[in-house]
Structure 1
């Protein structure tokens, strides 16, 4: 893979129709993720399900983690409760729970997209809640083409520890492919973007561990000029990945969950 830093992207396990049958068990992720992050100078590997020490071992070989979008997070995570996974927890929820814990111990840069931001926030004290019906900025239930074409404006908010920098615009238009949002900013993070209806659109950590998330899908912004506009917004994640250097005592991290809200 040469000198390009390597990042890991999570996948979504689901049954989909293929020539092998109507319900083929697959690990999936949109090809846009690979294209987008590759265009930012990174090599990408995809993560199947894993737990505990497997997560820590896997992440010790990469310089960053992307939590991809997809299905709603499980209620046990969405409620923001400091609880163990229930017996019916999905493999994706338990996998990403373990990966976030391992990344936090390693101080490995993390970037969450849509569901990924919600999971990151909920694991640090926020909650995931349904959007009220009828919000014009966040329509849901449209046909696929209309949903992908839907755009709304967000305002970017610089903070003392999460400077937007000269490259990032103060306002930008993003897509809306979600029906849930986070209830409030988790401890240890700052809000870096909001929609006009008050929904939190982006967060970034304020600690020595770089972690950030966006509620939209930058990898799916494929309109004229849109793809390039997304790159400056993820520049801090790219910088954190490029500069990542694990400390000697973090090469074999523990993955026990820390106290709520204290990464």
Structure 2
């Protein structure tokens, strides 16, 4: 009996060992404080939008000034429509510079068909003024209509001086009866009476000459040299303390030039090249 009991005890012990070796595991206890799940209100970096939202602030608008802002140009359309009816007023003597006097103003010339210089100069000046104003230039005209008297040549110079003009440009047309006379020329005060009549006025005259020539206009064949005419007898130039030049756009007694001056298309062409030349001078 004792032997039988020992065998049974041995068999039980062997079974327990085999049961444990079969890989049957007991479950691990659950942790007391399980980790919290990740928050859903904070997107990860990979889920962030790749472009800024449409409500992102926009840069402020540009405050850059127009290229010619702050510049002042005085345009002096020659003569006036009421001069011919008021000889007493326009013939009175006024200072002309260099110790001399001249008549207050003149009636100007005209084409052989009667188109007057004063009408041509006022129309061209208005067109130039419009073009320059569109570029930010402040433009002053020495006369506001084509039916008044004057102003006198010394008053015209004073308008440019008082405005502190960066450029003063007088617009005229010539009336030479010499056969074959044609072309434009640009006058400036010489010898200069002040610093502004020196290099600045010479540069203005040259820039106007170059602009007219580049625009297809021919330099005069009867006055000046290569489109430039230094003058000591023009009151508006002598009395100026600002850079000043006078453009004789052509000869109104020449049939071809007269036809261009009498047409709106021709006057626009003159105005466009004069305005461009003034812009070039102001940018220099």
With normalisation by structure 2, the TM-score equals 0.32
Question: Hey, which of these two has a bigger chunk of strand by percent?
Answer: 1
Larger radius of gyration: 2
